[in-house]
Structure 1
Amino acid sequence: MILIAMGVSGAGKSLIGEMLAARLGCTYTDGDAFHSVANKEKMHHGIPLTDDDRWPWLGTIRAAIEEKQRAGETAVFTCSSLKRSYRDVLRGTDTDVRFVYLKGSFEMLRDRLNTRKDHFFDPSLLRSQLDTLEEPGPDEAIVVGIELTPEQIVEHVVRTLGLAG
């Protein structure tokens, strides 16, 4: 099984991804690590990424997912996965790739971004990400509100997947 924690910047993808991986006893990979230097520079300077910027990035993450699958490993990734078409690339035709959508209000996300240190993402891009976001429904992702504690979020995901015990 491959889990992808998704949502806009500030939703807590990295923390939840790390916690899910620890809970499941598997590897964690942050999708941001696959961004090109050019993409990181654009975001650092408050320039929104385009689809043309994102397709190679998504393809690289998909290749990493396939590598984990070939090895028979469970793994957790993070990726904003803002559009359904992006999620389709990451999912491919696999039934074992599951998304966890971390959903939050603009105000909560903005507050989190404004207190975050040492990250390349310019908080002014939040509105652009929210405008781009095509929210997944329960048919496409496990949807969980970020007003819950990280522990509650992880517990909700694990129970929804039927892995609690």
Structure 2
Amino acid sequence: MNQTMQANKQAIVLDEVFPHAPAVLWKALTTRALIGRWLMPEEGFEAAVGNRFTFQTKPAGEWDGTIRCEVVEVIENQALSYTWTGGHGDNVGYGSKLETLVTITLTAAEGGTRLQLIHSGFLLPQNEIAYRNMSDGWKVVTRRLDQVAAEDAAEQALN
């Protein structure tokens, strides 16, 4: 890769502390039924290296809205990483070709768990719209992650 292309790559970085134990957040991050509640509909997710799965979002132009993913790292209660590929090479703007990586790390922190989410590999200007949309979108879905984790933990406490 040449230096010009490398210089144009951007990442979304979120770093927050949630009032849950790492295992509580891990369950919400890696349980199929819970992922759909905080992120988006998935098909075939399993927290196992090499597992391929998809998310479905709004189609655009030549792109059918399918986000193809592959799990590349799993360290229970600590780290989850998967590729995030979507879009189409003929699209400009929303739905342009996107080849990125989502990495989520969990570390115990005072009052709960520090979650760091890095969504890397946005090539600008081609992925400008995806970068902007997902910068805001990840903030929204991590708030939902917090809510889903809390609801699931409360439900488990009752059982």
Give me the TM-score of the superposition, normalised by structure 2.
0.34
Q: Which has the higher strand share?
A: 2
Q: Say which structure is richer in helix.
A: 1
Higher RCO, 1 vs 2 (CA within 8 Å, ≥6 residues apart): 1
Rg comparison, structure with higher value: 2
- TM-score, normalized by length of structure 1? 0.33
